């Protein structure tokens, strides 16, 4: 597996960068901080952090997710952070992208292989899928691929930390998984075996219960037969007694019913009801008419009792004619008043114009100087117009007075015409009331005569209906008595028939326990077969559990895992000692052990790394900082070799962040020579971050990172 390229936007101090990583050999990343001077803080390590963050969602320095977003000069996040890593995975073009505060993708991880979308529902699932494809996680990457700045070396880690890293490098998680699967399988089988045993116990209890049930059912069957015989004897005796019963009846009821039916046949109920309804309706109608006529007589008598109106003289004109004459004069008065008002306005206007003309020196239209003759001529014309207007006004006022006098006279005639019309209406009303009174008296007399006639008809119809109802009531009573006798006879017959059926039912009654006994016996036989089958299954499960327990021990820490550790420790000791030999000039060696010798001389199971220098310190804690750096680098290279040799997908890349710290110039030259001679041929690309000018000269290729105005960028070496 080769990491081909990394592209980032708005990541930490970088606005944008693109860096080719495939087959770059030994590559040095150096920095220039134009804002603060020197190389520190230029953004070199951010390139490594971008790669780690994209692949694993974390950084080696523990930077929080929101802090990887680039900030502007006001320390405000700009958003749209994106890192894209292109990987050649055995011919598969794999693209890994991770976004933060992105306008389009938000906070998301995406995975694409040869153009096919592999992104899962959530980032956690996508991350797991990527790690399965790469066969490496963050901790293993840091231990076998990258040497972070200031990171603790493998030899300085605790026993558990060293074991955890080796387990990830060796991918022994599969053995833990196999151990878990085997253990879970054993637990499942044991659970099933317990369930089978419980079922056997339950079936045995059911077997005992079934046997007891059969004995109980046999006892109940005997009791049933005894009870059936006794009940049959009782029912037969009762049947004979009830069949001999004879009920008494009245022989006169049916002849009486026939006689009444003959009498009632002469009546027609509908005719009687119709006659009664018509007589009743006629009586009600004539009663209502009598009351209405009487009320009308009273009303008209009251009207005629009122005093007669005073006599009014005939004005000789009707109301419409008088009204039309008054309306015409009224319109004339209004019109003449408007004429007088218009003439009055004209007189006032002429007076104003005379006042203006008497004092005017210039023409009001052309604004030129007005001669005296012209002004006198204007004054004469205005005075003549004034005289004419005053005369017309006097004539109009005279005509107005005449119209107003005529209007008063017309309104008086209209009032007299209306009074005479009202007087004539009252006289007509009294005459009509006298005629109506006579008609009401005639109607009242007629209604009284008819009311007496229909009252007699109603009494006759009511009497006939009462006689008919009495006959019907008597017939109903006789019919009810006959029905009661018939019901008693029917009830007795039913009782006798029910007893006969009960006797027959009791004779045909089948022993209900016989079938239950057969069913219980079949259930007992089935339970015996089930117990036999469950016992066989229980024995097979115990055999499977015994075989799986052997595999469980093999997949445990004492099995294959321990054997694998014992196998790789010689390899690690050899590889790391070779590297350390080159770096120390043959004065040091490293040994990886799975056991530690105690002060008592006894051995204890514990993973540890022993370091020894010729004529010097003999453990990791007592050596100098430069010697530790050589040991750490040697262990890193050895772990990388182990990971590449064991991994299904080895990574052809090494990342070293200032590995020359605490090394003198000779030590740095030794590390550089080792990188060129042994690491680069195997890894393809080894990237080293360095800021010492003397060390930079040891590197054949360089990438220069410059930070200016708070923004980092790659100014050279990005494409080789």
pLDDT given for residue 307 in this prediction: 55
CA nearest to 32, candidates 697, 715, 662, 717: 715
CA nearest to 661, candidates 153, 19, 32, 318: 153
User: How far apart, in whole angstroms, are the C-alpha atoms of residue 551 and residue 567?
Assistant: 20
Question: Is the Cα dihedral 413, 419, 423, 426 positive or negative?
Answer: positive
The DSSP secondary-structure symbol of 66 reads G
pLDDT given for residue 14 in this prediction: 95
The DSSP secondary-structure symbol of 266 reads T
CATH number at residue 395: 1.10.287.510
User: How far apart, in whole angstroms, are the C-alpha atoms of residue 685 and residue 150?
Assistant: 22
CA nearest to 30, candidates 22, 20, 42: 42
Written as six digits, the tokens of 228 are: 């059936």
How do 81-89 and 711-716 pair as beta strands?
Answer: unpaired
Cross-strand partners of 147 = 656
Q: Which residue, 554, 579, 611, sits at the end of a domain?
A: 554
pLDDT given for residue 124 in this prediction: 93
CA angle 589, 593, 594 (to 5 degrees): 170
User: How far apart, in whole angstroms, are the C-alpha atoms of residue 126 and residue 120?
Assistant: 5
- Is 602 domain-assigned? no
483 and 466 both lie in a single domain: yes
User: How far apart, in whole angstroms, are the C-alpha atoms of residue 83 and residue 58?
Assistant: 13
pLDDT given for residue 444 in this prediction: 80
User: How far apart, in whole angstroms, are the C-alpha atoms of residue 368 and residue 361?
Assistant: 9
83, 8 Cβ separation under 8 angstroms: yes
3-state secondary structure 339-363: HHHHHHHHHHHHHHHHHHHHHCCEC
Quick: pLDDT tens for 678-691.
Answer: 888 888 899 988 77
66 and 200 both lie in a single domain: no
481 and 522 both lie in a single domain: no
User: How far apart, in whole angstroms, are the C-alpha atoms of residue 619 and residue 156?
Assistant: 10
CATH number at residue 28: 3.40.50.300
Written as six digits, the tokens of 413 are: 């005639």
- Is 327 domain-assigned? yes
User: How far apart, in whole angstroms, are the C-alpha atoms of residue 11 and residue 50?
Assistant: 7
User: How far apart, in whole angstroms, are the C-alpha atoms of residue 461 and residue 276?
Assistant: 5
- Is 589 domain-assigned? no
How do 685-689 and 588-597 pair as beta strands?
Answer: unpaired
- Is 277 domain-assigned? yes
497 and 523 both lie in a single domain: no
217 and 343 both lie in a single domain: no
pLDDT given for residue 125 in this prediction: 95
215 and 275 both lie in a single domain: no
105 and 212 both lie in a single domain: no
**In sequence order, what are the residues at sequence separation of 6 or more whose Cβ sits closer than 8 angstroms to the Cβ of residue 507?**
232
147, 510 Cβ separation under 8 angstroms: no
- Is 174 domain-assigned? no
**In sequence order, what are the residues at sequence separation of 6 or more whose Cβ sits closer than 8 angstroms to the Cβ of residue 468?**
264, 267, 269, 272
User: How far apart, in whole angstroms, are the C-alpha atoms of residue 107 and residue 80?
Assistant: 10
**In sequence order, what are the residues at sequence separation of 6 or more whose Cβ sits closer than 8 angstroms to the Cβ of residue 683?**
640, 652, 653, 654
335 and 401 both lie in a single domain: yes
pLDDT given for residue 150 in this prediction: 57
Question: Is the Cα dihedral 504, 507, 508, 509 positive or negative?
Answer: positive
b/e 377-387 (16+ beta carbons within 10 angstroms → b):
ebeeebeebbe
- Is 460 domain-assigned? yes
Q: Which residue, 520, 538, 554, sits at the end of a domain?
A: 554
- Is 592 domain-assigned? no
CA nearest to 436, candidates 446, 424, 444: 444
Burial class (CB in 10 A: 0-12, 13-18, 19+), 634: buried
Strand order across the 116-117 sheet: 116-117, 109-113, 92-100, 81-89, 2-11, 14-20, 711-716, 701-708, 25-33, 685-689, 654-657, 146-147
pLDDT given for residue 20 in this prediction: 94
Written as six digits, the tokens of 7 are: 């592209």
pLDDT given for residue 548 in this prediction: 86
Q: What is the mean pLDDT of each run of 10 residues along the chain (720 residues)?
A: 94 94 90 87 91 92 88 91 94 95 94 94 93 82 71 72 73 72 89 91 91 90 90 88 80 86 83 84 84 82 70 82 88 89 89 82 71 81 87 88 88 84 76 78 82 82 84 88 86 88 88 89 90 91 88 74 79 87 84 73 72 74 79 82 68 80 73 83 86 74 92 88
User: How far apart, in whole angstroms, are the C-alpha atoms of residue 532 and residue 539?
Assistant: 11
The DSSP secondary-structure symbol of 155 reads G
pLDDT given for residue 363 in this prediction: 67
Q: How many CB atoms lie within 10 A of CB 609?
A: 22
pLDDT given for residue 93 in this prediction: 95
Q: Among the residues of 244-371, which ranges form H helices?
A: 253-264, 269-304, 319-359
Written as six digits, the tokens of 420 are: 């005479």
619, 652 Cβ separation under 8 angstroms: no
404 and 276 both lie in a single domain: yes
321, 426 Cβ separation under 8 angstroms: no
Dihedrals phi, psi of 710, to nearest 5 degrees: 80, 0
350 and 408 both lie in a single domain: yes
310 and 415 both lie in a single domain: yes
pLDDT given for residue 604 in this prediction: 67
105, 79 Cβ separation under 8 angstroms: no
485 and 515 both lie in a single domain: no
SS3 529: helix
- Is 629 domain-assigned? no
As for how many domains the chain has, the answer is 3
Kindly report the pTM of this predicted structure.
0.48
Q: The domain containing residue 128 runs over which residues?
A: 1-135+649-720
Q: Which residue, 508, 542, 569, sits at the end of a domain?
A: 508
């Amino acid at each position: 597996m080769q990491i081909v390229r990394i592209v980032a936007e708005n990541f930490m101090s970088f606005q944008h960068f693109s860096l080719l990583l495939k087959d770059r050999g030994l590559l040095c990343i150096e920095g220039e901080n134009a804002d603060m001077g020197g190389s520190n803080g230029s953004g070199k390590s951010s390139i490594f952090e971008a790669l780690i963050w994209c692949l694993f969602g974390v950084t080696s320095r523990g930077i929080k997710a929101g802090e990887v977003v680039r900030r502007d000069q006001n320390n405000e996040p700009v958003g749209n952070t994106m890192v894209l890593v292109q990987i050649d995975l055995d011919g598969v073009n794999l693209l890994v992208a991770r976004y933060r505060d992105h306008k389009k993708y938000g906070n998301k991880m995406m995975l694409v292989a040869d153009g096919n979308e592999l992104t899962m529902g959530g980032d956690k699932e996508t991350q797991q899928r990527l790690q399965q494809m790469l066969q490496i996680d963050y901790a293993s990457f840091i231990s076998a691929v990258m040497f972070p700045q200031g990171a603790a070396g493998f030899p300085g880690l605790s026993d558990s930390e060293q074991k955890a890293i080796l387990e990830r490098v060796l991918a022994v998680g599969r053995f833990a998984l196999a151990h878990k699967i085997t253990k879970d399988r054993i637990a499942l089988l044991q659970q099933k075996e317990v369930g089978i045993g419980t079922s056997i116990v339950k079936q045995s209890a059911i077997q005992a219960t079934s046997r007891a049930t059969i004995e109980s059912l046999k006892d109940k069957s005997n009791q049933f037969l005894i009870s059936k015989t006794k009940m049959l004897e009782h029912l037969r005796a009762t049947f004979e007694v009830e069949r001999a019963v004879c009920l008494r009846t009245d022989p006169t009821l049916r002849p009486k019913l026939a006689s009444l039916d003959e009498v009632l046949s002469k009546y027609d109920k509908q005719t009687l009801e119709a006659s009664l309804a018509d007589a009743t309706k006629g009586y009600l109608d004539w009663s209502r008419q009598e009351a209405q006529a009487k009320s009308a007589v009273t009303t008209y008598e009251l009207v005629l009792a009122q005093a007669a109106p005073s006599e009014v003289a005939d004005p000789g004109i009707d109301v419409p004619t008088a009204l039309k004459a008054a309306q015409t004069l009224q319109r004339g008065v209004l019109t003449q008043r408007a004429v007088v008002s218009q003439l009055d306005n004209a007189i006032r206007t002429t007076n104003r114009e005379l006042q203006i003309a008497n004092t005017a020196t210039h023409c009001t239209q052309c604004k030129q100087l007005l001669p005296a003759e012209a002004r006198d001529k204007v004054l004469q014309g205005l005075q003549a117009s004034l005289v004419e207007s005053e005369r017309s006004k006097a004539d109009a006022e005279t005509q107005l007075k005449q119209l107003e006098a005529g209007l008063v006279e017309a309104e008086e005639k209209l009032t007299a015409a209306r009074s005479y019309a009202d007087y004539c209406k009252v006289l007509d009303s009294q005459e009509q009331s006298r005629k109506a009174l006579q008609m009401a008296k005639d109607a009242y007399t007629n209604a009284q005569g008819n009311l007496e006639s229909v009252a007699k008809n109603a009494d006759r119809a009511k009497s006939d209906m009462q006689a008919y109802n009495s006959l019907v009531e008597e017939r109903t009573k006789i019919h009810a008595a006959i029905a009661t006798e018939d019901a008693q006879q029917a009830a007795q017959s039913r009782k006798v028939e029910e007893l006969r059926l009960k006797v027959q039912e009791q004779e045909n009654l089948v022993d209900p326990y016989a079938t239950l006994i057969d069913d219980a016996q079949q259930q007992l036989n089935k339970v015996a077969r089930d117990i036999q089958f469950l016992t066989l299954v229980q024995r097979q499960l115990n055999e499977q559990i015994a075989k799986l327990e052997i595999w469980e021990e093999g997949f445990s820490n004492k099995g294959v895992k321990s054997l694998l550790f014992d196998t790789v420790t010689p390899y690690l000791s050899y590889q790391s000692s070779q590297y350390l030999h080159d770096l120390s000039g043959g004065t040091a060696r490293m040994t990886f052990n799975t056991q530690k010798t105690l002060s008592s001389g006894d051995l204890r199971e514990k993973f540890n790394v022993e370091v020894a220098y010729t004529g010097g310190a003999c453990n990791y804690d007592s050596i100098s900082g430069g010697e530790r750096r050589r040991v750490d680098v040697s262990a890193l290279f050895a772990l990388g070799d182990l990971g590449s040799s064991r991994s299904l997908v080895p990574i052809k890349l090494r990342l070293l962040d200032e590995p020359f710290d605490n090394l003198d110039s000779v030590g740095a030259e030794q590390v550089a020579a080792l990188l060129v001679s042994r690491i680069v041929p195997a890894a393809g690309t080894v990237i080293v971050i360095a800021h010492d000018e003397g060390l930079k000269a040891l590197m054949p290729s360089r990438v220069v990172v410059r930070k200016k105005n708070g923004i980092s960028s790659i100014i050279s070496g990005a494409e080789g």
